[in-house]
Chain A
Amino acid sequence: MPYPADLKYTKEHEWIKVDGSSATIGITDYAQDSLGDIVFVDLPKTGSEITAGKTFGTVESVKAVSDLYAPASGTVTDVNGDLATAPEKINKDANHTWMVKVTLKTPGELNNLLSAADYEKFVSEEGGH
């Protein structure tokens, strides 16, 4: 399946990969396909707080600006600097291109997220490919 089983997903098409008390966040293949060529990514600085369900940045295609929604709350510890000059990496491999790393604040929030199977079902119902 195109959606790695070790990740969890939001209905806004972000994924999160948990590793103990920290996690990595990106957007899904469905998201990059809907957007088309990604030309710009705006991400928070390290040290800033992100809140589950709230926007933490934007990703832009030629035609549109899309908000990024945080799958979980936490403090940003690392930001993928490659994306400032090569945002198209996300189009090439969205499932493995990380955007931010965070220290999780409330790991319990992860229970609200979708499994890979649930996300795939959600996407096919949304009229995705």
Chain B
Amino acid sequence: MPAVEATTPTVRKTALNAVHRQMGAKMVEFNGWDMPVEYPSSGGIIAEHMAVRTGVGIFDVSHMGDIRLAGPKALAAVQHISMNDASRLAVGQAQYSALLYPQGTFVDDVIVHRLGEDDYLLVINAGTREKDFNWVRDNTRQFDCKVEHLSDDYTQIAIQGPKGVQLLQKLTDADLAAVKFYWVTRGTVCGLKNILIARTGYTAEDGFEIYVPSDEATSVRVWKEVLEAGKEYGVLACGLGARNTLRLEGKLPLYGHEISDTINVWEAGLDRFIKVDKPDFIGKAALEKAKAAALKKTLVGLEMIERGIARDGYKVLDDTGAEIGYVTSGSPAPFLKKNIALAYVPSKHADLGSVVKVDIRGQGVKAQVVPTPFYKRPKKV
């Protein structure tokens, strides 16, 4: 087996970096950030994944970015750059959306939170922080609204899983039962006043994300208090490895994989997050045109039916061995106990039940198109 490479010295660190290392986390470079991929003390990726599905797991997601738009024309500004309809948001409500290029492809996906009357927070990907901020600033100059890059101001901790609400309730005076999924509130958390608490996440489970001040002392104290409060629920610290397997089971897109600047909204299957009947937004015209034309490719879910694991970038073949597409994300699914993948294939191969092959190191291994999401969390009775 080849030697392990050291990370380069120019990577960025979150305020919790030292704590992850103290906990013995295996670290990896992700989009310019030195992040935990798994914690041997948690039992590793599979244990972390299962904790989120059955109990609670916590993640340091401070590498994500935050852009605030506030002012008299903040809504108009958001509507101009975002494909979903932010005018439907009540104060305290959030929605999944995307920022699009004029050709209808993705700048990034985003969660838009309405924090106040004319106050919106966009939470964006780690690897696209600067690109997104520049894009938002440059495309909203015509609106009376302030655009602020707040990414470095917050340590963002995700508390995910069916027991997440019980864990967090121990640490806050906010009434979490009153916060519906994809809504936010503010409250005192770990003694800190006016903390943003969002019932959002990237795991396809119930859970919360809290945004605390990013100074190291506060960040470390909160992380440790969350772990302590979660002990009775079997809380585990979770890294990017489990974050990826969890979001994959839930068919949540990852920028650079299912969505990118060369993929449009229809191909990615994100129709329900775009509102073409809202007033003009960047990308609308191109998407209306693209909708009329036939889809060149479409995103499907695959389940391996012969022995093998499909991984990011592997080619998808038809039964003659001809290349017809590629895997955007592929991995074992720890909860489902299957090997799954998302892939772009031509529409004629996209029917449920279609059998294709994945080129795994020169061998064509059979996979079947299956419904997505692969996993849906059980509804509360």
Q: Chain A: residues with CB nearer than 8 A to chain B?
A: 11-14, 27, 31, 33-34, 36-37, 39-40, 58-63, 65-69, 84, 126-127
Say yes or no: B1 contacts A68, CB within 8 Å: yes
Say yes or no: A36 contacts B4, CB within 8 Å: no
What is the 8 Å Cβ interface bit string for chain B, positions 1-39, against chain A (1 contact, 0 not)? 111101000000000000000000010000000000110
B interface, how many residues as a size bin?
20 to 34
Say yes or no: B332 contacts A39, CB within 8 Å: yes
Say yes or no: B44 contacts A37, CB within 8 Å: yes
Say yes or no: A37 contacts B46, CB within 8 Å: yes
Say yes or no: A62 contacts B46, CB within 8 Å: yes
Say yes or no: A126 contacts B46, CB within 8 Å: no
Say yes or no: B2 contacts A67, CB within 8 Å: yes
B1's partner among A12, A62, A84 (CB-CB below 8 A) is A12
What is the 8 Å Cβ interface bit string for chain B, positions 89-131, against chain A (1 contact, 0 not)? 0000000000000000000000000000000000000000000
Say yes or no: B37 contacts A63, CB within 8 Å: yes
Give Cα A36 to B26, complex, Å.
10
Say yes or no: B38 contacts A66, CB within 8 Å: no
Besides A63-B37, A66-B2, A126-B3, 13 more A-B contacts (Cβ < 8 Å) are: A12-B1, A12-B2, A27-B1, A36-B26, A39-B332, A40-B308, A60-B309, A62-B45, A62-B241, A63-B45, A63-B244, A65-B361, A67-B2
With both chains docked as a complex, state the minimum distance between the C-beta of B35 and any C-beta of chain A, in angstroms.
13
Give Cα A59 to B44, complex, Å.
17
Residue B334 interfacial (CB < 8 Å):
yes
Say yes or no: B1 contacts A37, CB within 8 Å: no
Give Cα A63 to B40, complex, Å.
14
Say yes or no: A62 contacts B361, CB within 8 Å: no
Say yes or no: A67 contacts B44, CB within 8 Å: no
Say yes or no: B1 contacts A66, CB within 8 Å: yes
Q: In the complex, what residues of A have CB within 8 A of residue B311's CB?
A: 65
A62's partner among B3, B6, B245, B308 (CB-CB below 8 A) is B245
**CB nearest to B242 among chain A residues:** A62
**CB nearest to B331 among chain A residues:** A62
